[in-house]
Amino acid sequence: MTQTCASSTQVDILLRRIAGLFIVIAAVLTQVHSPNWIYFLGFIGLNLLQSSFTNWCPMMTILRKGFKVQG
């Protein structure tokens, strides 16, 4: 598996895309499949809120390990 180099800014952009995608998917699943998907939406929201205070998010750690981050 070839790893690509990514800057810290690229990881931030990718994180926002993934969070947005998860929110849209969870919202659709809440309407179409089961109302219990609202808990996943709440988890995403709380995780985004805590990351705004701590500047740490579990997904950022995963992304940084998956890519070689410069800087």
pLDDT recorded at residue 1: 45
Whole-model pTM?
0.74
Tokens for 21, please give them.
Answer: 């995608």
pLDDT recorded at residue 5: 60
Q: Pick from 3, 6, 22: which is nearest to 69 by CA?
A: 6
Tokens for 45, please give them.
Answer: 């929201």
4: pLDDT confidence band, cut at 50, 70 and 90?
low
pLDDT recorded at residue 9: 80
pLDDT at 29 exceeding the cut of 90: yes
pLDDT recorded at residue 14: 87
